[in-house]
Amino acid sequence: MHPAPSVIIFTSLSGLGFGLLFWLGLGQPAPTGWVGFGFFFIAYALAVGGLMASAFHLGHPERALKAFTQWRSSWLSREAVAAVATLVTMGIYAALLVFAGIHVAPLGWIGAVGCLATVLTTSMIYAQMKTVPRWRHWSTPALFLALSLGGGALLSNNGWAALVLLTVAAVLQLVAWFTGDTRLARSGTDIGTATGLGGRGAVRQFEPPHTGTNYLLREFVHVVGRRHAQSLRVISFGLAFVLPVLVLALGLTHVTAAIAVLSHLAGVFALRWLFFAQAEHVVGFYYDKR
């Protein structure tokens, strides 16, 4: 799959933003005044910034309001509804907390559940794709949630929670990689079933249908850069999990916390790039490419 920067930025930033909002909604912490403003500003900048980036991915962003209508059937529509409902709920909670010093705990809990729902719906957009066997697995939503909550815990200074959740996320990431690498081969789809000719012999592409490229090849058959995937896996794993967990285990100061957050964010960006770049869409079989 083509690793579009807009989608990588969107899933990474809004995942972190909603993760931070989750902890703020739980009241861990429940800051008031300027400190509270700072916390909520960062959370909203990440969450809304991510959503704005995703709008750049659209061919017709001016029609985006229509995307709120099909929540009965579409995970993308559910995500849009969940994101806006959560941001509105948490906005009211934040305004009361920051400007009036009133902590309406149940409203925060509702918002926290909304954060989980938003991240879950985002991950289900990918996990639902039968056409991308690597993504169609329980580890996709589990990893998205663990990364979001772990990153949020890191940002909200919940050291122990961050330590546990980032460790869980690291294990889930390994599960996703090791099971995902063979899932396309195990899916039963190959050039033989794609063409229906597999029973007759070995099928290979003789001539492509067009000499130039097209939308399908650009969007779904991303081969460039996979060469460096293994080294990028090691780097991203170190940045997203190992370094932050080490820093957390040694104890947080303002400086080390900043290092942990920046390292984690860089790692998540790289992980998301791999999430898309390494995902193979079955349409590639028609072009005899992965």
List residues near other proteins by CB under 8 A.
1, 57-61, 63-64, 66-67, 69-70, 72-77, 80, 125, 128-132, 187-189, 191, 193-197, 200-210, 212-216, 219-220, 281-283, 286-287
Nearer to other proteins, 182 or 195 (CB): 195
**Which residue bears the tokens 């050039």?**
191
Residue in 237, 259, 234 with CA at minimum distance from that of residue 248 = 259
What single-letter amino acid sits at 154?
Answer: L
Choose between 6 and 32: whose C-beta lies nearer to other proteins: 6
Least Cβ distance, residue 184 to other proteins (angstroms): 12
Closest separation between CB of residue 128 and other proteins, Å? 7
Which of 56/178 has CB closer to other proteins? 56
Which token pair is 147?
């990364």
For other proteins, give the closer residue by CB, 80 or 247: 80
Assigned token pair, 251: 């104890």
CB of 188 to other proteins, least distance (A): 5
Residue with tokens 């000499």: 211
Both tokens of 9, joined, read 């930025």
34/215 with CB nearer other proteins: 215
CB-wise, 106 or 196, nearer to other proteins? Answer: 196
| In contact, 103 and 27? CB cutoff 8 Å | yes
Sequence-distant (6+) residues with CB within 8 A of 64 are 55, 58, 80
For residues 216 and 210, give the distance between their C-alpha atoms in angstroms, rounded to a whole number. Answer: 12
Nearer Cβ to other proteins (135/241): 135
Tell me the closest approach of the beta carbon of residue 185 to other proteins, in angstroms.
Answer: 13
Cα separation of 239 and 264, whole Å? 6
Residue 270 and residue 235 in contact, taking contact as beta carbons nearer than 8 Å: yes
Tokens of 31: 């800051």
Start-to-end CA distance of the chain, whole Å, equals 9
How far apart are CB 276 and other proteins at their closest, in Å? 11
C-beta neighbour count of 273 within 10 angstroms? 18
CB of 256 to other proteins, least distance (A): 40
Residue 211 C-beta: closest distance to other proteins, Å? 9
- Residue 11: name the closest of 148, 177, 151, 176 by CA: 148
